[in-house]
């Protein structure tokens, strides 16, 4: 009679950590509040027999609690008895009331009672292993789909409440249902079942796991297909592996002193990456301790993206340069620490890739290290290395750079083509410090000569505003025409600035004041002549698009370097190989290349740059360059 224990079922449920949390008082809590008695018997043949014997004459009933008790009733040892039908049905004994025959009733026990008895049955408790049971009950963690709120979750909870006056589990992750790749429920009849073995064969177990952890938070439905899991490899695994491959390539050349202990560096990029790394360790650790698996995995994706597209790209020259100064060693130490820490953070969720990284990065240089990443210590974060201000400032710089690249695309200007200037309007004047501190980095990343702040946002862009008639019409009815007229009569730039920063605008119309929200007005931006502009909220990036002859020549030199790097790859040269470089080109292009000779030879590892037809034994290519034919060749020194 579970209804008699409803208040206890509810109060114990309130002590359980549910993920997602709303299940506690929602789906599961409501089920408990509306509890009805559990009818345990089932009219089946296969399953666990109901251990109740009934007298054929007086209908007296007895519940039997053990084989020992049944043996005593029968008068013989039943230790070897198979406790299933038909064998247990053959056992009978005299009725203690009337002397008639007591036989087992024909019903079985509800299979959900079997599942809820799992914590006891696995140890044959209470007949054996009482110490083991007490040491492991209640469970720290269980996990199943949301439909188990009325199944396994309930049977565990109900049985434990009645028998132990305690919970059966302390933490539970409740999963949403898995749908097909189109978001439809899987069905054999429809033919949209996704065979997990196909996913494993094509994408591997690690990508399979990672997709399920990161696709959606627990409790939400998620789409599932071979292609969706494959995106993990394309968007995450390969990015991580390329960073690792970069490190190994240059470490094999320089043989740096590697240790994953604390790295000291004055380089701002190193300090930033280590700050982000220790922030990551803190956040992932806290997420795991809170059973937030999505919160423990998605931040790793974000960190790897920053590591690859920002830190590594901004630090490449530190690894390329010859010699082995302190800055180069700091770069190696920082990247090594990041990769080893990532291997440890990935161990619970990408066990195979994590151990592959660990074996190659750690065990290969330290034979006394634990044999596997799964035997290593979980990483600890150092609050002293976490610089929230630096993280925030670098995040702003990355946002501004991203906007700058968007502006380039609008102007159809390649990144290799230098531009005169990038100017920014900021959403908050406190952001000025980040732009000033990292001006050189922004200049280099956007390939511009100078960086400054816009005097006003209207210096580079103009805005027009247009009320959304549907939203405002539905909201204000016949008052909308007056509101629309008032909006159009106001200063469009002021309205745009307020709305783009996420604020609202007060409008006076027909003697009343109305609060206009960002989604109720369309704001259009138009770059002023000579600028290419991109915006995000109140942030504006504006590039001066005019090209001087000097800028054109520098752009030609940078494009030429890219062509030579492609030729080096096709010639299968190692990254450290030196070459002699040959160029057959027009006088105009030769002038541009000569002007930037030092830059070209440094970037391509050329010991010489000769303006002549490449020798017959040179690796060469004939290509079109700014509308003219150019022949480039190189010889390994």
Mean pLDDT of 548-562: 93
pLDDT-based confidence at residue 326 (cuts at 50, 70, 90): confident
Torsion over CA: 528, 532, 535, 539 (sign): negative
Judged by DSSP in three states, 52 sits in strand
> Is residue 189 pLDDT above 80, yes or no?
no
pLDDT-based confidence at residue 212 (cuts at 50, 70, 90): confident
Q: What is the mean pLDDT of the chain?
A: 88
Say which residue, 555 or 467, is predicted with more confidence: 555
CA separation, residue 84 to residues 50, 51, 120, 428 (Å): 10, 10, 19, 74
The pLDDT assigned to 42 comes to 86
Q: What is the 3-state secondary structure (H, E, C) of 291-350?
A: CCHHHHHHHHHHHHHHHHHHHHHHHHHHHHCCCCCHHHHHHHHHHHHHHHHHHHHHCCCC
CA separation, residue 11 to residues 5, 7, 15, 25, 155 (Å): 10, 6, 7, 11, 16
Say if strands 579-584 and 606-610 run parallel, antiparallel, or are unpaired: parallel
The pLDDT assigned to 260 comes to 58
Q: How confident is the model over 88-127, as pLDDT tens digits?
A: 999 999 998 888 999 999 899 888 888 999 999 999 889 9
pLDDT-based confidence at residue 324 (cuts at 50, 70, 90): low
Percent of the chain at pLDDT exceeding 90: 45
Which range, of 12-26, 210-224, 232-246, averages the lowest pLDDT? 210-224
Pairwise CA distance, residues 253 & 293, whole Å? 39
The label of the residue with tokens 């998605």 reads 298
| Domain ranges within the chain, ordered by starting residue | 2-40+112-175, 41-109, 226-386, 389-458, 461-527, 549-636
Say which residue, 275 or 1, is predicted with more confidence: 275
> Is residue 321 pLDDT above 90, yes or no?
no
Domain 226-386 has CATH 3.30.310.50: no
Judged by DSSP in three states, 635 sits in strand
pLDDT-based confidence at residue 497 (cuts at 50, 70, 90): confident
The pLDDT assigned to 334 comes to 92
- The torsion angles phi and psi of 169, rounded to 5 degrees, stand at -150, 145
> Is residue 473 pLDDT above 90, yes or no?
no
Pairwise CA distance, residues 520 & 510, whole Å? 19
> Is residue 322 pLDDT above 70, yes or no?
no
Say if strands 61-63 and 419-425 run parallel, antiparallel, or are unpaired: unpaired
Q: How confident is the model over 242-271, as pLDDT tens digits?
A: 999 999 988 887 777 776 566 677 889 999
The pLDDT assigned to 528 comes to 80
- DSSP state for residue 610 in the 8-state scheme: E
Q: How confident is the model over 65-95, as pLDDT tens digits?
A: 899 999 999 889 998 899 898 999 999 999 9
> Is residue 549 pLDDT above 90, yes or no?
yes
The pLDDT assigned to 16 comes to 92
> Is residue 288 pLDDT above 90, yes or no?
yes
Report the 10 Å Cβ neighbour count for 317.
12
> Is residue 241 pLDDT above 70, yes or no?
yes
Helix (H) or strand (E) holding 541: strand 539-544
ω before 86 within 30° of 0 (cis)? yes
Pairwise CA distance, residues 92 & 57, whole Å? 13
pLDDT-based confidence at residue 277 (cuts at 50, 70, 90): very high
pLDDT-based confidence at residue 579 (cuts at 50, 70, 90): very high
- The torsion angles phi and psi of 451, rounded to 5 degrees, stand at -130, 135
Q: How confident is the model over 128-138, as pLDDT tens digits?
A: 899 999 999 99
The pLDDT assigned to 564 comes to 92
Pairwise CA distance, residues 474 & 468, whole Å? 10
Mean pLDDT of 164-175: 90
Q: Which residues on neighbouring strands pair with residue 542, listed in sequence order?
A: 423, 533
**Cβ-count burial of 491 within 10 angstroms (0-12 exposed, 13-18 middle, 19+ buried)?**
exposed
Torsion over CA: 465, 470, 475, 481 (sign): positive
Mean pLDDT of 196-212: 88
Q: What is the pTM of this model?
A: 0.81
Which range, of 229-238, 252-261, 439-448, averages the lowest pLDDT? 252-261
Say which residue, 140 or 427, is predicted with more confidence: 140
461-527 CATH: 3.30.720
């Amino acid at each position: 009679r579970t209804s008699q224990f409803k208040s206890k079922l509810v109060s114990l449920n309130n002590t359980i950590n549910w993920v997602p949390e709303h299940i506690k008082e929602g789906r599961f809590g409501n089920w408990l509040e509306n509890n009805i008695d559990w009818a345990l018997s089932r009219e089946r043949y296969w399953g666990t027999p109901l251990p109740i014997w009934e007298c054929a004459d007086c209908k007296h009933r007895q519940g039997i609690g053990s084989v020992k008790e049944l043996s005593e009733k029968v008068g013989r040892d039943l230790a070897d008895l198979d406790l299933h039908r038909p064998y247990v049905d053959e056992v009978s004994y005299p009725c203690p009331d009337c002397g008639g025959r007591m036989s087992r009733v024909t019903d079985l026990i509800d299979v959900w009672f079997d599942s809820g008895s799992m914590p006891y049955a696995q140890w044959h408790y209470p007949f054996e292993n009482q110490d083991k049971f007490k040491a492991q009950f209640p469970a720290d963690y269980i996990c199943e789909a949301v439909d188990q709120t009325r199944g396994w979750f309930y049977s565990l909870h109900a049985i434990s409440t009645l028998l132990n006056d305690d919970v059966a589990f302390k933490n539970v992750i409740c999963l949403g249902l898995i749908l097909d790749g189109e978001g439809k429920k899987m069905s054999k009849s429809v033919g949209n079942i996704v065979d997990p073995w196909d996913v494993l064969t094509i994408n591997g177990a690690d990508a399979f796991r990672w997709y399920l952890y990161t696709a959606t938070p627990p409790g939400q439905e998620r789409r599932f297909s071979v292609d969706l899991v494959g995106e993990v490899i394309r968007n995450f695994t390969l990015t991580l592996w390329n960073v690792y491959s970069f490190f190994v390539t240059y470490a094999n050349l320089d043989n740096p002193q590697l240790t994953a202990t604390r790295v000291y560096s004055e380089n701002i990029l190193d300090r930033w990456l280590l700050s982000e790394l220790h922030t990551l360790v803190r956040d992932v650790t806290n997420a795991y301790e809170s059973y937030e698996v999505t919160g423990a995995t998605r931040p790793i994706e974000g960190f790897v993206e920053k590591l690859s597209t920002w830190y590594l790209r901004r630090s490449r020259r530190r690894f390329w340069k010859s010699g082995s100064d302190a800055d180069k060693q700091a770069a190696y130490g920082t990247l090594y620490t990041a990769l080893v820490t990532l291997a440890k953070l990935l161990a619970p969720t990408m066990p195979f890739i994590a151990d592959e990284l660990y074996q190659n990065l750690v065990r290969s240089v330290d034979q006394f290290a634990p044999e596997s990443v799964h035997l290593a210590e979980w990483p600890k974060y150092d609050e002293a290395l976490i610089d929230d201000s630096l993280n925030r400032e670098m995040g702003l710089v990355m946002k501004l750079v991203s906007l700058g690249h968007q502006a380039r695309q609008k102007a159809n200007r390649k990144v290799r083509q230098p531009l005169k200037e990038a100017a920014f309007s900021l959403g908050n004047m406190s952001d000025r410090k980040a732009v000033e501190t990292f001006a050189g980095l922004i200049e280099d990343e956007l390939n511009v000569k100078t960086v400054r702040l816009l005097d006003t946002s209207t210096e580079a862009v103009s805005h027009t505003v247009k009320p959304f008639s549907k939203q405002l019409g539905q909201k204000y009815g016949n008052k909308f025409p007056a509101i629309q007229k008032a909006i159009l009569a106001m200063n469009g730039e002021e309205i745009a600035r307020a709305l783009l920063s996420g604020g609202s605008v007060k409008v006076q119309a027909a003697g009343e004041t109305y609060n206009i929200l960002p989604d109720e007005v369309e704001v259009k931006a138009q770059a002023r002549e000579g600028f290419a502009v991109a915006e995000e909220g109140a942030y504006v990036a504006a590039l001066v698009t005019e090209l001087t002859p000097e800028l054109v020549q520098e752009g030609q030199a940078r494009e030429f370097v890219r062509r030579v790097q492609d030729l080096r790859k096709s010639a299968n040269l190692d990254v450290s190989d030196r070459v002699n470089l040959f160029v057959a080109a027009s006088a105009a292009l030769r002038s541009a290349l000569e002007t930037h000779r030092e830059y070209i030879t440094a970037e391509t590892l050329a010991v010489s740059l000769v303006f002549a037809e490449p020798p017959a034994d040179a690796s060469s290519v004939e290509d079109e360059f700014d509308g003219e034919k150019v022949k480039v060749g190189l010889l390994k020194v």
